[in-house]
Amino acid sequence: LAQWMYNNAELMEGFDRKAWVCVSENFNIVETTKNIVKEISTNTQDLDSFNSIQDALKKGLSKTKFFIVLDDVWSNDHHQWKDFLAPFQYGDKGSTILLTTRKEDVGSVVQTNYHPHYLIPLSEHYCWSVFAANASFPESNGSPTLEEIGKKIAKKCNGLPLAAETLGCLCRRHDAEEWEKILRSDIWGFSTNDSKIVPALLISYFHLPAHLKR
């Protein structure tokens, strides 16, 4: 959804600057600030200290309307965010920071003017569509046997697009026997080289409270 907004020319028409930065689990304010500067400015020389990097960001955003995406944020360290966000106050009215996160408390720490949008799981129909597209399954003339197995796999995804996408890719160019194996397999048995799911789940798992990890 964030990518769709960021790449939508009509939505971005009123913005002077835009940048997309993946923050991920280890929030490094120096590196994150530098990455934003690289997105909005061609002059990235002499960025050898946090103050110089922040000053460059302040100049790049000053009196401009910007749209900044901070993707996959985990840190809820108020003091880090306070230092990081200092240059953003110099942008014009209507400037926007779009933050994606799996932790509910992160957004409220980062921004006072916070409007969360909660993503709901996909319906079974859409989950199957994502799976089928990634499995290169021709819905119009595909095998009824494969479709039956595929819909069972898609149902096990519980509406999670990442799961449907990854399992669909695993099923690409395989026969019904292989699809059956995937249907019956344990997700933790997948190679992390072939699956985005396991690493993605592990990050969430590490952030669970102790009583839920069991």
User: What's 118-157 look like in SS3?
Assistant: CCCCCCHHHHHHHHHHHCCCCCCCCCHHHHHHHHHHHHHC
Say yes or no: 18 and 105 in one domain.
Answer: yes
- Encode pLDDT of 171-214 as tens digits: 887 788 888 988 887 766 666 666 667 777 777 788 888 898 88
CA–chain centroid gap for 31, Å, is: 18
CA angle 204, 39, 64 (to 5 degrees): 110
116 lies in some domain: no
**Within a 10 A sphere around the Cβ of 68, how many other Cβ atoms?**
22
User: How far does Cα 168 stand from its chain's mean position?
Assistant: 19
- Backbone φ and ψ for 70, nearest 5 degrees, come out as -105, 105
The range of the structural domain enclosing residue 56 comes to 1-110
User: Are residues 86 and 5 part of one domain?
Assistant: yes
Residues 92 and 23 in one domain: yes
Of 59, 84, 110, which residue constitutes the final position of a domain?
A: 110
- Residue finishing a domain among 57, 75, 110: 110
Q: Residue 24 — φ and ψ, nearest 5°? A: 65, -165
Per-residue pLDDT reduced to its tens digit, 58-113:
999 999 999 999 999 999 898 999 999 999 999 999 999 999 998 888 888 877 67
Same domain, residue pair 133 and 203: yes
Q: Is the pLDDT of residue 141 over 70?
A: no
Average pLDDT, the chain: 87
User: Within a domain: residue 117?
Assistant: no
Q: Looking at the structure, tell me whether residues 18 and 67 fall in a common domain.
A: yes
Q: Are residues 93 and 9 in the same domain?
A: yes
Report the CATH number that the domain containing residue 31 is assigned in CATH.
3.40.50.300
Rounded to whole angstroms, the Cα distance separating 11 from 8 reads: 5
On whether both 106 and 129 belong to a single domain, the answer is no
Q: What is the pLDDT of residue 171?
A: 87
Instruction: Report how many domains make up the chain.
Output: 2
